[in-house]
Each structure stands twice: as C-alpha cells, then as structure tokens.
Amino acid sequence: MKQISLLCIPLAGMLLTGTLAATEAQPPVPGGASSVSVGIRYYDKRIYYVEDAPIFVLVTLTNRGPATYRFKLADERAWSVDFDVRTVSNRVLEPAELLVRKRTESRQIFFREVVVESGESFSFVEDLRDYAALNQSGAFVVQARIYPELYRSPGVQPLESNRLSLNLRPPLLPGPDGIPLEMDQETNAILVREKLPPDETIRYILTARQKEQWEKFFLYLDLDVMISRDGSRQRQWLAESEEGRRRMLARYRQDLQSSVVDGDIATIPMTFEIERTTYGAEEGTVVVLEKFKTGDYIERKRYTYYLHRKDDIWTVIDYSVVNLGTE
C-alpha cells in the first residue's frame, strides 16, 4: 500500500485565471461534480513530429458552481493526471515508459489541496509525451482525465476533458550540420540554413518575427549557446544528460516564444534599420535600430546582435539592447 503524505509547498508552473482556457466545448463531468469542467488545448500549437520536442497541453479546471471546489494535486502529476491517446480507429496507445515506471515505483505520494473558488479556473501545463508512447506518425485523439482524489483511488471517477486532434508527422530529416530540418509552414518546404552574411542573417530573423513565422525566426538562433547566458541555466545544462538537454532546449524555445525569458529578442519590431555590421573570420556584430509601437508612442531601441560562424553559417549567440526613448 502506498503511503500518502501532505506536503505544502508552492506549486510551480501553475496558472490561475478567471476564464476558461480551453476553446472547445466541455463535456459533462462525471463523479457528481457537474459544476466543474476540464478543458485542454495545446499550449503552443505547431507542427508535431515523432520523437521531437515536447507536446505541451494546457489543462484547465473551471468551477462554474456556487460552492468552492477542492481537489488533490500530486507533486508528481502522474498521480493526478492521465491522458487517453488513441488512433482514429479507436486503438489506445501504450503508456509512456516513464509513466509506467513512476506508477510502479514504491514511493510516497506528496500532494497538496488546491482550492478553486466559484467562477475561477486553475491551469497547469503537461507534456503529452510523458504519458503516451508517441513513437509512430499518424492521426490521434487526445483526452485528459483528472483524478481529484489521486490516481485509482477506490470509488472515485475521474473528471474528463474535451478531445483534441493530434497529427504526428514522420521524424525530421537531419541537416548537414546535424540539426533537424524545420518545415516552412507557408510552403511546406524544408527550411535549410543558408550561407548568409551577418547583416542578412539578422534581416532574415527580424523579417520572420514581423511575419510571426516562428520556424524561420529560430532558424538562425543558436539556442545551445543562448540558453547558457543565464548562470543557473548554464549549471543545469552542464549537469543534464543528452535527453535532459533536449528537453531544456524545447522549454527554452517555448519560453522565448512566450516572452517568459529574453522577451526583448522576441518582440515584434514595427520597423528596423541595420546601422552597422562588423565581422571577422568567426565572430561578428550587427547593430540595428528598431522601432516598436507602444500605445500612442513609438519606442526606439538599439539592438546589438552577436553572431558566430560555424561551417560558413552565421548564427546569433547573444544580444544587448539600449533604450533610446520615444518619438
């Protein structure tokens, strides 16, 4: 019998909102909690590939009733959350190896009680790959289940969410530099790094950001180096395994896209002008005057991008920003 202990610690990665995050219709909730609905949506909707980056799903519980709703949320989410993933022919996918290992270990289960007041929502993000063995391409249907009294508690039915469709493409082809080739979402063609000079590299990145083309924006960013700009992340990076680093990169990319970290580089410029470019055999800098629309004002900022050349490809490894005021 597993021992259950109560550990009251702050929950990381949680979102508390007053509105429903899921965009799809919610089904009735079993177990007598008809006033509580569970919704899921993709946290970062994009093209998904087999054995690629994490597939983040935003899970939201919304209390539509007049009374306060309480449920137990385990620190190890595998004891509070499950995902049913099946093919369009209704064949259920096998659980992820990590999930099986977590649920078969003899260990204490630490949890805390979460309170959702009337009219409020409680959200958190989970990686779908932690729950299902997504090792084949194809079309799938995803549904989340929340266990208010922890996984497989006797006599307690889970809360079920809406269903999402998931399309997994075959694995990305490795490029000549070993980096997987991205797909251009406009043309569905493979994106390949070209031998652009430093100023054209920056022009490509900024133009992609203006058009909100994330796959092109990230093409010339050396995330392996940029993630180490922060001391704590650098220490974690050095201590991680290859798999751990892959997950760190995926999360860092997501945080960049959400402006959680390094928000300056991801901000969309209204206009930009390349002022100066200097470079040698391996290192280069590009200075750009960028303007941003902020309410009734236009902010002016001078960006300095630092680039490194490897195999004749220039990529951004760092940047700095100077505020020049408004106009």
Question: Which sequence spans correspond to the domains of the chain?
Answer: 4-169, 182-326
| Integer Cα distance of 163 and 134 in angstroms | 17
- The class (CATH top level) of 182-326 is alpha beta
How many other CB atoms sit within 10 Å of the CB of residue 173? 8
Give mean pLDDT, residues 294-323. Answer: 92
How many CA atoms lie less than 13 Å away from 120 in the CB half-sphere?
14
Say which residue, 18 or 62, is predicted with more confidence.
Answer: 62
- Whether the pLDDT of residue 3 is over 80: the answer is no
Strand, helix or coil for residue 144: strand
CATH number of 4-169: 2.60.40.2360
* HSE value, Cβ hemisphere, 13 Å, CA-based, for 217: 18
pTM listed for this prediction = 0.49
pLDDT above 70 (res 38):
yes
| Helix, strand, or coil (residue 36) | strand
Q: Which residue has the tokens 């002022």?
A: 275
State pLDDT tens for residues 6-26: 333 333 333 333 333 333 334
